Chains A and B, each alone.
Chain A
Amino acid sequence: QKEVEQNSGPLSVPEGAIASLNCTYSDRGSQSFFWYRQYSGKSPELIMSIYSNGDKEDGRFTAQLNKASQYVSLLIRDSQPSDSATYLCAVNVLGNQFYFGTGTSLTVIP
């Protein structure tokens, strides 16, 4: 079983819609959770971090964490074509190693 699981997609949404990206993790000792955006051929760019259960909002982005269900999600409101990228979920276990999912490819259709 992989440490972090993501649906690889592709996920397509129309411009202005809400994009919902999901991630599950296997280690209950996981402490920190991150979402990165990666454009093709580029390196990952940090979007959000979340450490406690509940929602965390930053602009058009909302991260949601449910430790009981071992589930973390990212909502992108008012999706723009520039949001088209691969979104990586990352989990930090015991403050040391980071485990990344394989990413979900998002396409925002104008």
Chain B
Amino acid sequence: DTGVSQDPRHKITKRGQNVTFRCDPISEHNRLYWYRQTLGQGPEFLTYFQNEAQLEKSRLLSDRFSAERPKGSFSTLEIQRTEQGDSAMYLCASADRDRGRREQFFGPGTRLTVL
């Protein structure tokens, strides 16, 4: 396993711009999760996929956020019309639920700064 990878690692954008992040999960992991983490807080759940199906979204998730996992492999998270409050670390995690394993393994994260 090469681990979960995320790209880019850092993103600086101006308020109102759109940004897109990519996550490549551990090979053959069928579950993929997106979280947001701000300083001094734990990761906050955003959404998750079982293969290509998006099964759950946080009620706190603005409609400016959208996520896809078109072929059940990598996933993208897009934020439209970014706001300064979107500045955070965006974390992706994957899990191998086919084997009944619930442990999640995190990628290195994408740090977003909205100016």
Contact = CB atoms under 8 A, between A and B. Distances in A.
Interface of A: 4, 8, 31-32, 34, 36, 42-46, 49, 51, 88, 90, 92, 95-103
Interface residues of B, number: 21
A26 to B, nearest CB: 14
B25 interface: no
Interface in B77-105: 89, 91, 102-105
A44 B108 contact: no
Nearest to A6: B42
A32 B102 CA distance: 8
A99 to B, nearest CB: 7
Interface string B28-47: 00000101000011111100
12 contacts: A4-B42, A43-B106, A45-B106, A46-B103, A95-B102, A97-B45, A98-B33, A98-B45, A98-B104, A100-B35, A100-B43, A101-B42
B102 A102 contact: no
B42 A102 contact: yes
Nearest to A97: B45
Contact of B108 (A42, A96, A97): A42
Contacts of A102: 40-42
B43 A44 contact: yes
A31 B48 CA distance: 18
B102 A97 contact: no
Contact of A46 (B42, B44, B105): B105
A3 B99 CA distance: 27
Which of A34, A42, A100 is packed against the most chain B CB atoms within 10 Å? A100
Contacts of B109: 42-43
Contacts of A45: 106
A31 to B, nearest CB: 8
